[in-house]
């Protein structure tokens, strides 16, 4: 069983109101050195059996069709443990 | 300016209905080799100036008080770029 992590973040040119709300709240709470926050999603995906190239491609395809909206989001797929 | 990434995931013993919905949808779409998904949050935090230990501690404290709910979530803080 392998674990693959998919990080999904809004593209840099897309406004992120969630992140803006977080950075404003941090400033009110006194965390002055934090100047910007962007919020995205992290998926921990477990893949059955050995992590072949075909199975990793399947995860990439799932990320591009279901986990991320490629119109407004970028995603990054990386293997965390291939055991 | 340094960039720090904060990953927030539900603790393993906490039920994750979002992740369960994702894995059920993936199965319906034919992604058979994916057996489990857990969904969490990823924050990209920008810190002003040099990343001193004090500033990194500030990010850790912000993560533990605002970004994550430590009752049900674990978080992980890591430096992505310290320039």
Token reading at A13: 């040119």
3-state secondary structure of B38: strand
pLDDT tens per residue across span A36-73:
999 999 999 999 988 999 999 999 999 999 999 999 99
CATH topology of domain A2-81: Mth169; Chain: A , (3.30.1280)
3-state secondary structure of B3: strand
Angstroms from A55 CA to nearest CA on chain B = 7
Spatial CA neighbour of B3 closest among A34, A39, A19: A34
Other C-beta atoms lying within 10 Å of the C-beta of residue A30: 9
| B47 bridge partner residues | A34, B2
Q: Domain-by-domain residue ranges, chain A?
A: 2-81
> Which pLDDT score, from 0 to 100, does residue B24 have?
95
User: How high does pLDDT run on average in chain B?
Assistant: 94
- CA-based torsion, A31, A36, A41, A45: positive or negative: negative
d(CA B32, CA A16): 33
pLDDT tens per residue across span B40-76:
999 999 999 889 999 999 999 999 999 999 999 999 9
> Which pLDDT score, from 0 to 100, does residue A53 have?
92
Considering only CB atoms, B48 lies closest to which of A35, A40, A48, namely: A35
Name the percent of chain A lying above pLDDT 90: 92
DSSP label of B66:
I
Tell me the residues of chain A between 28 and 47 that have a Cβ less than 8 Å away from chain B.
Answer: 29, 31, 33-47
On whether the CB atoms of residues A59 and A77 are closer than 8 A, the answer is yes
A60 touches chain B (CB under 8 A): no
Per CB-CB distance under 8 Å, the chain A contacts of B34 are: 45-48, 58-59, 62
Cβ-defined contact of B62 to A34 (cutoff 8 Å): yes
């Amino acid at each position: 069983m392998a674990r693959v992590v998919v990080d999904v973040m809004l593209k840099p040119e897309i406004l992120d109101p969630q992140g803006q709300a977080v950075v404003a709240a941090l400033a009110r709470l006194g965390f002055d050195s934090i100047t910007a926050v962007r919020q995205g999603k992290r998926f921990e995906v477990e893949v059955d059996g050995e992590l072949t190239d075909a199975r990793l491609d399947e995860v990439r395809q799932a990320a591009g069709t279901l986990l991320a909206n490629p119109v407004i989001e970028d995603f990054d797929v990386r293997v965390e443990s291939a055991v």
